[in-house]
Amino acid sequence: MGCHILDHVVWSLKLGPPASVEASFSMYVPEVTWDKPKNTETYPRASLVTYKFPEREGFPPLTLKWYDGGLMPPRPEGIPDDIRMGDDYGGALYVGDKGMILCGSHGANGLRIWPESRMQEYQRPKKILPRSIGHYAEWIAACKGGEQAGSNFDYAGPLTETVLLGNVAIRTGAKLCWDSANMRFPNNPDADRFLHRPYRDGWSL
């Protein structure tokens, strides 16, 4: 779900590849003995993945945290106790120096700025970004030589790369520094084995 829920975060904050990623996580599903807390077939019941992004295009360094399995970030001071954080499918919380933006999954539903005084001051910008005609319609139009789809591979590929690095951090249980240009972990070469799978005989790419 990270490719959906983190899309607007990556897009709006111009996040390129992270400099590092690390994770903490619960027992795997199904549960296994404590001396074997991980396996290669299933996933943890819950995890917290922390990405560190460097300075880029006029933006300062940034820390991004992904919570799943029912985990939630601590409620920041300034968001009232009776305000639900996110919706049934998740959500996102942007924390800045002057306030916070809270929204539901996929950047929709319940978009609010906190503190409330900031929301009252906010002036909506003019709509300058093209509106999507729908996933399937965009894809068909691009196939016919029309406009490039919004989630084209040049964008979706690096986004997916970032999300999947969290899985590698869970597999290794280590802090990983990421060299995107060379597709490797310079501080943990053993983790590179999780970046690719060997192809079956007779298949190649």
Is the pLDDT at 38 greater than 70? The verdict is no
The arithmetic mean of pLDDT across residues 33-52, rounded, is 76
pLDDT band at 37 (very low <50, low <70, confident <90, very high): low
Q: What is the pLDDT of residues 2-34, one digit of tens each?
A: 999 999 999 999 999 999 999 999 876 655 555
Q: Which of 19-23, 91-95, 127-131, 142-146 has the lowest mean pLDDT?
A: 127-131
Q: Which residues contact 35 (CB under 8 A, 6 or more apart)?
A: none
Q: Which tops the pLDDT comparison, 109 or 8? A: 8
Is the pLDDT at 179 greater than 70? The verdict is yes
The arithmetic mean of pLDDT across residues 27-45, rounded, is 65
Is the pLDDT at 49 greater than 60? The verdict is yes
pLDDT band at 161 (very low <50, low <70, confident <90, very high): very high
The arithmetic mean of pLDDT across residues 121-125, rounded, is 91
Q: What is the pLDDT of residues 64-75, one digit of tens each?
A: 999 999 999 999
Return the pLDDT at 71: 93
Q: What is the pLDDT of residues 77-89, one digit of tens each?
A: 989 999 999 898 8
Return the pLDDT at 39: 62
DSSP string, the chain: -HHHHSHHHHHHTT--S-SEEEEEE--BSS---TT----SSS-BS-EEEEEEE--BTTBPPEEEEEEETT--PPPPTTS-TTS--SBTTBEEEEE-SS-EEEEEGGG-SS-EEESHHHHHH--PPP--SPPP--HHHHHHHHHTT-SPPTT-HHHHHHHHHHHHHHHHHHHH-S-EE-BTTTTB-TT-GGGGGGG--PPPTT---
Is the pLDDT at 92 greater than 90? The verdict is yes
Mean confidence (pLDDT) of the chain? 90
Q: How many CB atoms lie within 10 A of CB 150?
A: 17
Supply the pTM of this predicted model.
0.89
pLDDT band at 189 (very low <50, low <70, confident <90, very high): very high
pLDDT band at 177 (very low <50, low <70, confident <90, very high): very high
Q: Which tops the pLDDT comparison, 36 or 76? A: 76
